[in-house]
């Protein structure tokens, strides 16, 4: 092995090492984009009176940093989910005419229980606890 080859080998290793180190933030950003970190909801919020919740309707409210979709089923039961789609995080909406939850970004559909039915989202929506006290509906953290 000549001195020239040794020098080239060392320089190549330094370049590979430098390339690997400088690409770590890019790789990290791509991973966080594909698998966004789970966020926690902080606090609680009064949504309104039970009497104001019309069957087969929904509303999106902010709880902490994230939107929450509150749905009143046609049976009168009120449920809530984190409104960020489990695919890439777009805000989902309730389709009253179909009784499902739809993400317009890439077409994911969730059933009324937040389970993915079709589209690219494979994980269920995060269920948010609801409390009803003194006729007031409150969503809370866990
Ligand atoms: S972000 Fe909802 S389907 Fe892609």
The verdict on the CB of residue 106 being under 6 Å from ligand 1 is yes
Q: How confident is the model at residue 115 (pLDDT cuts 50, 70, 90)?
A: very high
Is 15 in the same domain as 58?
no
The verdict on the CB of residue 91 being under 6 Å from ligand 1 is no
Tell me the CATH number at 117. Answer: 2.102.10.10
Residues 6+ apart with CB under 8 A from 124: 86, 110, 113, 114, 115, 116
CB 126 within 8 A of CB 116: no
Taking the CA of residue 88 as reference, the ligand 1 atom at the shortest distance is 1
Is 119 in the same domain as 56?
yes
Q: What is the pLDDT of residue 18?
A: 92
Is 86 in the same domain as 24?
no
Q: How confident is the model at residue 112 (pLDDT cuts 50, 70, 90)?
A: very high
Count of domains in the chain?
2
Taking the CA of residue 108 as reference, the ligand 1 atom at the shortest distance is 3
The verdict on the CB of residue 86 being under 6 Å from ligand 1 is no
* Å from CA of 124 to ligand 1 middle: 12
Is 54 in the same domain as 29?
no
Q: pLDDT digit string (tens) for 41-77?
A: 567 888 888 888 899 999 999 887 789 999 999 998 9
Tell me the H-state helices in the chain: 3-34
Q: What is the pLDDT of residue 73?
A: 93
Q: What is the pLDDT of residue 94?
A: 97
What is the Cα–Cα distance from 58 to 130, expressed in whole angstroms?
14
Domain span at residue 5?
1-35
Sheet containing strand 100-102, edge to edge, reads 93-95, 100-102, 109-110, 116-118
What is the Cα–Cα distance from 128 to 58, expressed in whole angstroms?
14
Protein residue closest via CA to atom 1 of ligand 1: 88
Protein residue closest via CA to atom 3 of ligand 1: 106
């Amino acid at each position: 092995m000549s001195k020239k080859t040794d020098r080239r080998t060392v320089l190549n290793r330094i370049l590979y090492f430098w390339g690997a180190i400088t690409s770590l933030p890019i790789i990290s950003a791509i991973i966080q984009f594909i698998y966004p970190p789970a966020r926690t909801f902080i606090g609680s919020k009064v949504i309104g009176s039970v009497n104001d919740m019309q069957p087969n309707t929904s509303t999106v409210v902010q709880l902490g940093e994230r939107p929450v979709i509150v749905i009143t089923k046609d049976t009168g039961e009120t449920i809530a989910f984190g409104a960020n789609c489990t695919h890439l995080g777009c805000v989902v909406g309730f389709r009253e005419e179909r009784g499902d939850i739809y993400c317009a970004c890439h077409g994911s559909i969730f059933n009324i229980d937040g389970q993915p039915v079709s589209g690219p989202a494979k994980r269920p929506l995060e269920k948010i606890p609801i409390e009803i006290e003194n006729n007031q509906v409150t969503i809370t953290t866990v």
